[in-house]
Amino acid sequence: MQQSVTLEAPAHGVPAARDIPLAEEAAEVFLTLSVAGQLCGVPVLAVRDVLGVQAITRIPLAPAEVAGSLNLRGRIVTAIDLRCRLGLPPRDSGEGARGAMSVVVERDGELYSLLADQVGEVLPLPRADRAPNPPTLDPLWREVSRGVHRLGERLLILLDVERILAIG
């Protein structure tokens, strides 16, 4: 039933990335994803599963960022629309038909899915290469970004999962 592009091995039972003293790590490993053309990264250790397109139940009266909930092997996962969370335009119907991928993360024992347009690859990113948020960055983004990496031609925003989930 689940068309999962599994990547769950590293995640189980491993403390979330925030628990690791980052300063001592030479390179952190990130999963890249793209949201409305913007490249983003989440710490791979925070990720439990990556799922293909899922049936998502809408939740009335929920904050706009909450796309709904979905069923992951008997557990209910709350889906967060990253586009909405980052203030990006919603997926238009053409793309919407293909749906979004789910990157499942855990926080305080609850599962959340971050909806991204595409999920890329797993990359180790040396800490030394990380640049702080430019001061001109949109305040909304500054809030959820832990820094910026240059990746070839593109810029990758490091998402702070904890902050992304701080809704409402």
Partner 1 sequence: MDDLLADFLTETNEGLVALDAALVRLERTPEDAPTLSEVFRIVHTIKGTCGFLGLPRMEAVAHAAENVLGRYRDGALQVSQGGVSLILRALDAIRGIVSELEASGAEPAGDDLPLIAALNGAAAGGGVPAPPAEPLDAAQPATPPGARAEPAPETGAAPPQTIRVSVEVLEDLMMLVSELVLTRNQLLQLARNGADGAFAVPLQRLSHITSDLQEGVMKTRMQPIGNAWAKLPRLVRDLGVELGKRIELEMRGAETELDRQVLELIKDPLTHMVRNSGDHGLETPQERRRAGKPETGRITLNAYHEGGHIIIEIADDGRGLSIERIRAKALVQGLATEAELAAMPERDIQRFIFHAGFSTAAAVTAVSGRGVGMDVVKTNMERIGGTIEVRSQEGQGTAFIIKIPLTLAIVSALIVQAGSERFAIPQIGVVELVRVGGEGNGGPQLEHIKDAPVLRLRDRLLPLVSLAGLLRLDPAQAASAAGESAFVVVTQVGPHAFGIIVDRVFDTEEIVVKPVAPILRHVTMFSGNTILGDGSVIMILDPNGIARATGVGSEAVDAEAERGRARPAAAMLSDARTALLLFRAGDATPKAVPLGLIARLEDVPREQIETAGRRPLVQYRGRLMPLVPLSGPWDPAAAPARQQVLVFSDGERAMGLIVDEILDVLEERVAIDGTGERPGYLGSAVIGGKVTEMLDTAWWLRQGGEDWFGGATALAGQGRRVLVVEDSAFFRNLVVPALGAAGYAVTAVADAREALRLRDAGAGFEAVVSDITMPGMDGYDLARALREGGAWRDLPLIALSGRAGPADIERGRLAGFTDYVAKFDRAALLESLRQCLATATAA
Asked if 100 interacts with partner 1 (CB under 8 A), we say no
Residue 30 touches partner 1, criterion: CB under 8 A: no
Q: Between 138 and 167, how does the x/- string for binding to partner 1 read (CB under 8 A)? A: ---------------------------x-x
d(CA 112, CA 132): 27
Q: Is residue 39 near partner 1 by the rule CB under 8 A? A: no
Minimum CB–partner distance for residue 49 and partner 1 (Å): 16
β-strand pairing of 101-107 with 66-72 = unpaired
Q: Is 16 in the site for partner 1 (CB under 8 A)?
A: no
Q: Tell me the CA distances in angstroms from 25 to 29, 73, 84, 128, 133, one per residue in order.
A: 10, 33, 32, 10, 20
13 binds partner 1 (CB under 8 A): no
CB 156 within 8 A of CB 40: yes
Whole-angstrom Cα distance, residue 161 to residue 116? 13
Helix (DSSP H) and strand (DSSP E) numbers for the chain: 4, 10
Using CA atoms, how far apart are residues 47 and 74, in angstroms rounded to an integer?
A: 18
For residue 50, state whether it binds partner 1 (rule: CB under 8 A). Answer: no
Q: How many residues at the interface with partner 1, by CB under 8 A?
A: 23
What residues from 52 to 91 belong to the interface with partner 1 (CB under 8 A)?
55, 57-63, 66, 68-71, 74, 76, 78
Residues engaged in binding partner 1 (CB under 8 A): 1, 55, 57-63, 66, 68-71, 74, 76, 78, 108, 110, 112, 165, 167-168
